[in-house]
Amino acid sequence: MALAFLVPGPLDQLTGGYLFDRMIVEGLRAAGRAVDVIELAGRFPAADDLAHRAAATALADLPDGGTAVIDGLALPAFTDCLAAQARRLRLIGFIHHPLSRETGLPADAAQAYAVLEARLWPLLRGIICPSAHTARAVKADGVAADRVEIVMPGTAKPATLRAPKKAGPLELLAVGTVTPRKGHLLLINALAGLRGLDWRLTCIGSLERDAATVAALRYAIATQNLNDRIVLAGECAPASLSAAYRSADVFVLPSYEEGYGMVYAEALAHGLPVIATTAGAIPDTVPADASLLVPPGDTAALRDALRCAMSDANLRTRLAAGAAVAAAALPDWPTAVSRWANGLDRLAA
């Protein structure tokens, strides 16, 4: 019997959550398992009528006793059908991070998501999380510990690391969809006080998902007279992304919340010092000897961390060495897929 894997929209979207989904699907198939990907139509996570109809149809079409994995981003579309279908199907949630903790949500919307997740999560047979941080949130909303599996995503480890630093500006790299949660605007404000240092910033990530945040980011860059130092590159293919990691000197992304933070692991795998925050699962993903972590939302602390990293080559060398040690402990994708499959089988049983 095929495993049904339900995702909101196309599976090939270039975000960490979709990459995790896609690598699991491809890994299961490579191991000989039948996986039927169902790409749900509609708007997510604020599910519209089309999304609700797609979710209800997807579950209704599955045979009694069938196993289905629901990506957490799609879960709001299942509010009307989950309880009834959970009694005849083996439904597993793949919860990357709580929707209620998305940065920038109005208070009433965040509360609505919190209530929804607290109602729907316990209806599932089990939940797979990418980190202990996300698992704690799931358990706090009433899911028993024995119905939760923690499986870190894999990390592709490059055959060659970045080249030694040559002359020229220090190359900063940020990777993440431009949304409030990723902290791009905070980063620009921090960098605005460091014009006296020689640096450039490349931001890789979608510019299409949150038009208001992108517009605010472009405005901040222009008003701070940083257009000649900052590139908003948009999304890029995996090969180009790996090249960007190899060309960078420091990875920086001051997120307000992360369920795991795949881009931080990718930066470690490329031997990069990391500047980030203490939010969510970031301290679990990025060890102290590879990073400078500051409180989320603290512009002054972020600016100080950037100044230290830019001004002290020895510090960058020490953090890069810590990154290399941390990278060696990260699971590769075959290992992650195997652990994920074992967790799925236990929960489904």
Question: Does position 98 have pLDDT exceeding 90, yes or no?
Answer: yes
- Angle subtended at Cα 169 by Cα 290 and Cα 291, rounded to the nearest 5 degrees: 10
CATH number of the domain within which 62 lies: 3.40.50.2000
Q: What is the pLDDT of residue 240?
A: 87
- 343 and 320 within one domain: no
Average pLDDT of the residues in 200-220: 97
The average pLDDT across 141-147 equals 95
Q: Count the neighbouring beta carbons within 10 Å of the beta carbon of residue 95.
A: 27
Residue range 165-185: average pLDDT?
92
**pLDDT exceeding 90 applies to what percent of the chain?**
94
For residue 324, being part of any structural domain is answered with yes
Domain membership flag for residue 227: yes
Give a yes or no: residue 238 inside a domain.
Answer: yes
Look at residue 161 and tell me if it is in a domain.
no
Q: Has residue 237 got a pLDDT over 90?
A: no
Same domain, 198 and 299: yes
Q: What is the mean pLDDT of the chain?
A: 95
Query: Do 273 and 342 belong together in one domain?
Result: no
Is residue 19 pLDDT above 80, yes or no?
A: yes
Question: Do 129 and 190 lie in a common domain?
Answer: no
CA 144, CA 341: separation in Å to the nearest integer?
20
Confidence of residue 215 (pLDDT cuts 50, 70, 90): very high
Rounded average pLDDT over 170-182: 97
Q: Give the three-class secondary structure for 295.
A: coil
For residues 214-221, average pLDDT: 98
Radius of gyration of the chain (CA): 21
Q: How confident is the model at residue 161 (pLDDT cuts 50, 70, 90)?
A: low
Domain presence at residue 160: no
Q: Are residues 178 and 279 in the same domain?
A: yes
Q: Residue 164 falls within a domain, yes or no?
A: no
Q: How many CB atoms lie within 10 A of CB 325?
A: 12
User: Domain count of the chain?
Assistant: 2
pLDDT above 70 (res 134): yes
**For 184-203, what is each residue's pLDDT tens digit?**
999 999 999 999 999 999 99
What is the mean predicted confidence (pLDDT) over 216-238? 96
Average pLDDT over residues 268-273: 96
Task: Assess if residue 159 is contained within a domain.
Answer: no
Domain ranges, residue 90: 3-154+332-348
Per-residue pLDDT at 163 exceeds 80:
no
Query: What percentage of the chain has pLDDT greater than the value 70?
Result: 97
Residues 23, 333 contacting (CB under 8 angstroms):
yes
282-340 pLDDT tens trace: 999 999 999 999 999 999 999 999 999 999 999 999 999 999 999 999 999 999 999 99
Domain shared by 238 and 277, yes or no: yes
Contact 138, 119 (CB under 8 A): no
User: 249: Cβ–Cβ under 8 A, 6 or more apart, which residues?
Assistant: 162, 165, 170, 171, 172, 272, 273, 316
The predicted structure's pLDDT at residue 174: 98
The verdict on 204 and 150 lying in the same domain is no
166, pLDDT greater than 80: no
Same domain flag for 104 and 216 = no
Distance (Å, whole) CA 294 – CA 301: 6
**pLDDT score, position 238:** 83
pLDDT at 167: 74
pLDDT of residue 280: 95
pLDDT above 90: residue 107: yes
* Mean pLDDT, rounded, for 74-92: 97
Residue 157 has pLDDT above 90, yes or no: no
Judge whether 165 lies within some domain: no
Do residues 110 and 217 share a domain? Answer: no
